[in-house]
Amino acid sequence: MDTLKNVVVIDGQGGRLGRLLVEKIRTDGPACHIRAIGTNSLATSAMLKAGPDEAATGENPVIVACRDADVIMGPIGILSADALLGEITPAMAAAVGRSPADKILLPVNMCGTRVVGVSAMTFSELTTAAVAELSRLLADI
């Protein structure tokens, strides 16, 4: 029997992007276990409304979730210390970067990080593309 892949969605600020990711995974994505981790309680609360299997808030949950994730999803800033207006701690960024999980990062050109070579997309378009990539990735794992 196949076990569900562990997908960790990390978001901060108001959690809008994370909520959209969880919603689209649930409605259009592959079957998987979704763990939503907010860098603050507002982000976690927003993602909880989308129906993840588990949710938690803060630095230590990010670190712990990255250990056994199959896939990590979120804005590209989760790889940069002090991103998301300082909500991403150096330990969080290191945990994401060092995780053996595949990473699907959305190029949100905010907080001083610009990604060139990608077209400007709305959060809805970004999350649709991210869930399509998750479906392709989990089909190959």
**Residue with token string 């901060």:** 12
**CA–CA distance, 106 with 129 (Å, rounded to integer):** 9
The average confidence (pLDDT) of the chain is 93
pTM of structure = 0.93
The pLDDT of residue 1 is 41
How many Å apart are CA 10 and CA 31, to the nearest integer? 18
Which is nearest to 18 in space by CA: 96, 137, 131? Answer: 131
The pLDDT tens digits for 74-84 are 999 999 999 99
The distance of Cα 66 from the centroid of its chain, to the nearest Å, equals 11
Is residue 46 within 8 Å of 75, Cβ to Cβ? no
pLDDT value for 48: 98
Express each pLDDT in 50-71 by its tens digit: 999 999 999 999 999 999 999 9
